[in-house]
Amino acid sequence: MEKFEKITGVAAPMPMINIDTDMIIPKLFLKTIKRSGLGVNLFDEMRYDDDRNERPDFILNQPAYRRAEILVAGDNFGCGSSREHAPWAIKDFGITCVIAPSFADIFFNNCFKNGILPIALPQEQVDVLMKDAEKGANARMTIDLETQEITTSDGDVFKFDVDSFKKHCLLEGLDDISLTMEKADSIANFETMAASARPWV
């Protein structure tokens, strides 16, 4: 997993509430177990018409937001089923931070496990960030995980909270497997001692 330390990029505004995981990545695309390749299907039913042509009014199809790295969204983002493909698709598109007033718990935790920083802020602060994002590609937002600060294109600064362990994992690029492998020597020693103590196992 890539380290998340600080990003400065374009933020795409999506003020809809209750954006669920089926909207993020429809069930049609859940057949794969690969984390790559799903970005093209992110928000698929909103991005494309029945003939697979891009809908020009959808935010991520607009030239200013095609390379968005940050998403500013409405309340209860990531609700619905617990599919991990949702953060996979978001990350594969290139978005590494989602800001919203609240998140569904499972989606929220899955983000951290996949190198995405989800930030929950009061609605009034999200409203300010949403307006900043609406300025387009010239308005670049900065997310600093170390200082836990968001800086708008106008220089406004908002502090955010993040669990210290989850912060450590993002800063160091540690997913669940990486965390386990940090204990590889201890695990190997335990296996050696267990095999010696119980050779019949």
**pLDDT tens digits for range 148-178:** 999 999 999 999 999 999 999 999 998 766 7
Give the per-residue pLDDT at 189.
75
Neighbours of 145 (CB within 10 A): 19
Q: Which residue has the higher pLDDT, 33 or 93?
A: 93
* Bridge partners (DSSP) listed for residue 73: 14
pLDDT higher than threshold 90 for residue 195:
no
Does domain 6-174 match CATH 1.25.40.80? Answer: no
Global model pTM greater than 0.85: yes
| Residue located via tokens 């669940």 | 176
Q: Which residue has the higher pLDDT, 187 or 32?
A: 32
Q: Are 100 and 70 in contact (CB under 8 A)?
A: no
Give the per-residue pLDDT at 182.
63
pLDDT higher than threshold 80 for residue 120:
yes
